[in-house]
């Protein structure tokens, strides 16, 4: 039950952040916001502040901002209506949601880097037979402190250097064993593996795995902010690359995509591991939400931006009827996709569906 409430709180926070972006930008450019709702369906309760009613609705997994004059077939011609504004101002309102998700992701990652990110040390926990580390004299418990005169503190540092193809040239390892310092030369063995996108690639391995010695790496606020921004950019690029691979068939949809059920499972698992892990998964979901909403697909924020672009090129908006027809088709496609990924999540994550 506690996991359920944690999942509900996380989803609610991410939705509120997104919709607050639309709300803030609408008010900034002078569009009246009639309703700000957390959830869909029947209103449970609400309060009115100024022109805006803030409500909690029956189904909490979602939310919306109701703008004055956002229906082009029912306009009153007042300056506070959405469609009375220029394409640029409407664009700012539309992208306000995803932009706020990005800002929130940077804040979350900055906080994570300040509090401390969990990292494995460079101490060897296990050796794999048939790989060069064994024949080169590496022992369990050795601490790898340098590779090719580059300081090594964490396991990720080691992996980043070793995985590159050295063309058969050995790497110079400096290893601490007790009070002794050893210098070894090890040539990584190139093996076939899969990257984060499930694609086959060739990486270097020396045949060691880390000891489960986790430390929390902390940074000052300025370093944390810079690392947070860099992390958001890296994850955004990786997410768009993953989407492109899904579209072109480079990634299997069934194995690579999760919906609300899968995300809820991940949030629950992260919550069990600790608060910092919950923040990490929240930051990742935040970026996924921003990227998904910016896709040029009708009914998403990116779809509205696409219609604005067409309007700018044509000199007049796409007719309401055409937008409605395209939106209805897109809605059915999106519902079908949501049902597909939800069923896939049920088959993957729910114990009674597993063989």
Instruction: Tell me the catalytic residues.
Output: 19
262, 353 contact by CB (below 8 A): no
Axis crossing angle, helix 275-293 with helix 2-28, rounded to the nearest 10: 40
What's the distance, CA 226 to chain centroid? 18
Residue 166 — φ and ψ, nearest 5°? -90, 0
């Amino acid at each position: 039950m506690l996991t359920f409430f944690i999942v509900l709180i996380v989803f609610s926070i991410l939705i509120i952040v997104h919709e607050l972006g639309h709300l803030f930008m609408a008010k900034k450019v002078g569009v009246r916001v009639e309703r700000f709702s957390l959830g869909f369906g029947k209103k449970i309760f609400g309060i009115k502040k100024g022109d805006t009613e803030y409500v909690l609705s029956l189904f909490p997994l979602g939310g919306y901002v109701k703008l004055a004059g956002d229906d082009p077939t029912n306009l009153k011609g007042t300056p506070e209506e959405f469609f009375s504004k220029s394409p640029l101002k409407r664009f700012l309102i539309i992208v306000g949601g995803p932009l706020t998700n990005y800002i929130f992701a940077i804040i979350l990652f900055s906080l994570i880097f300040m509090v401390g990110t969990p990292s494995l040390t460079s101490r060897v926990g296990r050796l794999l037979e048939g790989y060069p580390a064994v024949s080169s004299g590496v022992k369990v418990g050795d601490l790898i402190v340098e590779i090719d005169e580059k300081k090594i503190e964490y396991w990720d540092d080691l992996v980043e250097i070793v995985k590159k193809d050295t063309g058969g040239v050995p790497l110079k390892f400096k290893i601490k064993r007790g009070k002794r310092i050893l210098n070894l030369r090890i040539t990584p063995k190139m093996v076939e593996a899969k990257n984060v996108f499930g694609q086959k690639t060739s990486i270097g391995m020396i045949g060691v795995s880390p000891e489960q010695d986790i430390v929390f790496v902390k940074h000052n606020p300025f370093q944390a902010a810079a690392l947070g921004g860099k992390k958001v950019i890296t994850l955004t690029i990786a997410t768009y690359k993953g989407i492109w691979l899904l579209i072109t068939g480079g990634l299997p949809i069934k194995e690579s995509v999760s919906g609300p059920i899968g995300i809820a499972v991940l949030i629950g698992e992260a919550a069990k591991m600790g608060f910092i892990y919950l923040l990490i998964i929240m930051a990742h979901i935040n970026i996924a939400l921003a990227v998904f909403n910016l896709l040029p697909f009708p009914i998403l924020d990116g779809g509205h931006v696409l219609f604005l672009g067409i309007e700018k090129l044509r000199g007049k908006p796409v007719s309401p009827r055409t937008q409605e027809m395209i939106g209805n088709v897109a809605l059915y496609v999106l519902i079908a996709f949501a049902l597909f990924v939800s069923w896939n999540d049920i088959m993957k994550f729910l114990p009674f569906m597993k063989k």
